[in-house]
Structure 1
Amino acid sequence: MTMRRIVMACGVALALAVASVTLDHSAEASVSLTPAQQGWIHKIESSLAATKSFQARFEQVTEQDGTSTGTVVLERPGRMRFSYDPPSPLLLVANDGKVVFQDRSIGQITTIPLDHTPLGLLLRPDPRFSGDVSILGYEQHGSEIQLRVTRTDNPGEGEMTLFFSTHPLSLKGWTVLDAQGHRTAVHFSNVQTGVTIPEASFILPKDED
């Protein structure tokens, strides 16, 4: 299974070295932020760190595959599950430092390191938009903040735009632009925080015998 397939399936994994075409970020650098914008960044970091558990419905839109829906649950640090509604055969689970993607239609499992995906940023115990993460863009329109980020040491892997509501401050979704220029958007609704999530939700899929 290709990394592109994972990107289309879950909207969270950036294309890595397997991509044959990369984006040109040579002219881009971390954006300069005003003190007020820096203040919002710190609030976002604190809000993400304080969100120990999370459950929501999601809608995913890809340019080639259209729209799919499902349920996402998160438990910090390091655990997340995307369950796609039928008839989709897809499942993605992050746990134990790995992201495991299952396509039941072909009985195939793909495993990649959590730190090689945007989920690595979102599931850290102490999320920070600095150091190994660079901010490429910051926009605020009314009650929404758009934060465009990439991996500092390899921006050619792709980028991710995170969408936050400011009242209350919460993650609304994201758009991933992979190394081949394909976009995948994920939007959350019916968000609940501080929920109890069954331990079994984060059991990693295994190859079927």
Structure 2
Amino acid sequence: MIRTLLLAALVATPAVAAPLDEVAAALAATTSMTARFTQTASDGRVATGRMQLVRPGKIRFDYDKSKLLIVADGRALSMIDYKVGQVSQWPIRNSPLAALLDPAKDLARVARVVEAPAGQVRIAARDPKRPDYGTLTMVFVRRADAPGGLALAGWTALDAQNNRTEVVLNTVRSNVAIPKSTFTFRDPRIRTPGRPG
């Protein structure tokens, strides 16, 4: 379920230039963000937790009822499973979240606007060189108090095996102070001297 969030990438459909410019401006105006999230997998399983983000390149997902942690430190995106003591890592540029985290990402090259209800903007993007990363569609809602007038409301990820994961954000706060230590983690593969396990 959570691997879908990491390994999906970005889709292309009919383009509308102006909303893409709006999204790019809103992302440029967003330096940080915190939110609660609800994640729903294709099989209906639901997970909740807290997301913290600092652009460029940093994001953290703490799950409420799981020993999994997802952290991007500006270079690598890491999935840490404390239950089995395993760490998996990918370059951020190979992640679907690159469109959200990388200010240098050219949305006009990788993203397209898709149909959305009134008051929303939805963009979908895909790395044309790596379609095997899957697809990601981000949802923004128009809000006067949000940076650039658009607030990120969530996204839907689809991997190469057609596994779908939907993430919905709530209690979103933008441009807030977040400690640098947020984007570090305890490596479960390294044992503390004098402690069992």
Question: Given the two structures, how large is their TM-score scaled by the length of structure 1?
Answer: 0.81
The residue number in structure 1 matching 2:107 is 129
From 82, 91, 98, give the equivalent of 1:120.
98
The residue number in structure 2 matching 1:3 is none
The 5 Å alignment of 1:109-188 reads 109-131=87-109, 133-135=110-112, 138-168=114-144, 169-188=150-169
* Residues 1:191 and 1:119: Cα distance change in structure 2 (over 3 Å): same
The residue number in structure 2 matching 1:81 is 60
CA distance in 1, matches of 2:43, 2:14: 34
CA distance in 1, matches of 2:166, 2:59: 17
The residue number in structure 1 matching 2:147 is none
RMSD value, Cα: 2.0
CA distance in 1, matches of 2:136, 2:165: 10
The residue number in structure 2 matching 1:68 is 47
The structural deviation recorded for 1:113 is 0.8
CA distance in 2, matches of 1:91, 1:10: 11
1:49/1:126 contact within 8 Å kept = no
Q: How many residues align?
A: 184
Question: Does the residue aligned with 1:192 lie in a helix, a strand or coil?
Answer: strand
CA distance in 1, matches of 2:117, 2:179: 37
CA distance in 1, matches of 2:186, 2:8: 21
Alignment identity in percent? 32
CA distance in 2, matches of 1:139, 1:59: 23
List per-residue Cα deviations over 1:12-69 (Å, max 9, x = no partner): 32259xxxxxxxxxxxx95443xxx311110111101110010000000102360010
1:203 matched to 2:184? The reply is: yes
2:139/2:155 contact within 8 Å kept = yes
Q: Identify unmatched segments of 5+ residues in structure 1.
A: 1-7, 17-28
* Residues 1:43 and 1:149: Cα distance change in structure 2 (over 3 Å): same
